[in-house]
Chain A
Amino acid sequence: MIAEETLVQELKSKESQAKAFEVLVNTYKERLYWHIRRIVLDHDDADDVLQNTFIKVYRNIDGFKGDSKLYSWMYRIATNESLTFLKQKSKKMGIGDQELKEHMVENLQADAYFEGDEIQLKLQKALATLPDKQKLVFTMKYFQEMKYEDISEVLETSVGALKASYHLAAKKIEAYLKAD
């Protein structure tokens, strides 16, 4: 795999930009998709946000200073794009954030691209009860199996706070799943 530093240099050079961007998209499309999908839940919405994320990366690559890893920077853009998307969606629908989350989970039952069973649907209901950041930390650690250090760079939160947040989220979810 091409070294990140080399890839960034190629992305910033007009001559090599197109080819390097294709490499970037191919390298990160799946990871970013699943990250976005777990926030917006619906496949079509995830597709829109994924495309917007990459376009934003393409247009702002000159502003990438290399203070963090390229991977973390893109995750941060994807996270912001997803949360902004949900805010706009709730505004358009004229409902609150929590109402939108419940609506999204209800829609999963009719979603052709959700193959979860009863317990997985209940898991989504449990996740919808968590604050945004706690949910992000949980899904990034539990499903995406990211290291705390990497999550820390994306969410700009200390590792200690992330660990506490993760365990709190896990306990809440377990309690929700065991109830009834």
Chain B
Amino acid sequence: MKKNNENKFNTPEGYFESFHDRLMDRIQNEESTTGSSIPKTDGFAVPGNYFEKVVPAILSKTTAEDVKVIPLGGRRNFYYAAASVAAIFLLVFGINWKTENTAFSFDDLASAEIDAYFENHDIGLSSYEIAEAIPLEDIQLNDVLAEDLTNDILWEYLEDNMEDIEDLHLENEEHE
């Protein structure tokens, strides 16, 4: 049998010149798709037009001066927390500086000043965190409030601000 040494096959123009580049592209492609079993997307979605609607929602909260983001409790609760934090400062500094003649009292702090402080400073604490930081065993709220905090005031506040009194998880059965 006569052996045919003549090559009868042909290749596209530039096939061998571009072979290396095409090979590297394929390796890179395979590495990115099969090199990891972790999906490329995580399946989260948003409601239609959410990103259009969220802009006015944010802007309205920054333009209205009287709108404050207080996650838990009402404004009054916020004042109690503010007054309590201020009281702790006064107690601490009062102990350290008790020998000085220029003593000042809580009365010297106008509520507007306390209010302004919390308006203008980011204290970085939530209502929960403030409540946790205040050792109520040692400090009575009546010590720092202008008016006595009577049970009536407390109940009135809770009735106005609590949807369900059971949320308080009161352990004492004596409440009315």
Q: How large is the interface on B (under 10, 10 to 19, 20 to 34, 35 or more residues)?
A: 20 to 34
Q: Is there an interface contact between A51 and B57, defined as CB atoms closer than 8 Å? A: yes
Q: Is there an interface contact between B36 and A116, defined as CB atoms closer than 8 Å? A: no
Contact residues of B between 10 and 61, Cβ < 8 Å to A? 36-39, 41-47, 50-51, 54-55, 57-59, 61
| A-B CB contacts (within 8 Å), total count | 89
Q: Is there an interface contact between A25 and B55, defined as CB atoms closer than 8 Å? A: yes
Query: A139: nearest residue on chain B (CB-CB)?
Result: B42
Q: Whole-angstrom distance from the CB of B39 to the nearest CB of chain A?
A: 6
Q: Is there an interface contact between B128 and A113, defined as CB atoms closer than 8 Å? A: no
Whether B77 is near chain A, meaning CB under 8 Å from some CB there, is: no
Q: Whole-angstrom distance from the CB of A94 to the nearest CB of chain B?
A: 10
Q: Which of A68-76, A117-125, A157-165 contacts B (4 or more CB under 8 A)?
A: A117-125
With A29-B54, A51-B54 as given contacts, are A142 and B38 in contact (CB-CB < 8 Å)?
yes
Which A residues are CB-close (under 8 A) to B50?
A: 43, 47
Q: Whole-angstrom distance from the CB of B60 to the nearest CB of chain A?
A: 10
Whether B126 is near chain A, meaning CB under 8 Å from some CB there, is: yes
Q: Is there an interface contact between B38 and A37, defined as CB atoms closer than 8 Å? A: no
Binding site of A, secondary structure by majority: helix, strand, loop or mixed?
helix
Which B residues are CB-close (under 8 A) to A50?
A: 54, 58
Whether B135 is near chain A, meaning CB under 8 Å from some CB there, is: no
Q: Whole-angstrom distance from the CB of B170 to the nearest CB of chain A?
A: 16
Q: Is there an interface contact between A88 and B126, defined as CB atoms closer than 8 Å? A: yes
Q: Which of B61, B62, B63, B71 has most chain A Cβ within 10 Å?
A: B62
Question: Which one of B42, B51, B58 contacts A54 once the chains associate, using CB atoms below 8 Å?
Answer: B58
Question: Which one of A30, A55, A170 contacts B69 once the chains associate, using CB atoms below 8 Å?
Answer: A55
Contact residues of A between 2 and 48, Cβ < 8 Å to B? 18, 21-22, 25-26, 29-30, 33-34, 37-38, 41, 43, 47
Q: Give me 17 A-to-B residue pairs in the complex whose CB atoms sit less than 8 angstroms apart, sorted by A's number.
A: A18-B59, A22-B59, A25-B58, A29-B51, A30-B51, A33-B46, A52-B69, A55-B58, A55-B69, A113-B44, A113-B45, A114-B43, A116-B44, A120-B39, A143-B41, A143-B42, A174-B36
Q: Which B residues contact A (CB, under 8 angstroms)?
A: 36-39, 41-47, 50-51, 54-55, 57-59, 61-63, 69, 71, 122, 126, 128
Q: Which A residues contact B (CB, under 8 angstroms)?
A: 18, 21-22, 25-26, 29-30, 33-34, 37-38, 41, 43, 47, 50-52, 54-56, 58-60, 63, 84, 88, 91, 113-117, 119-121, 123-124, 142-143, 170, 173-174, 177-178
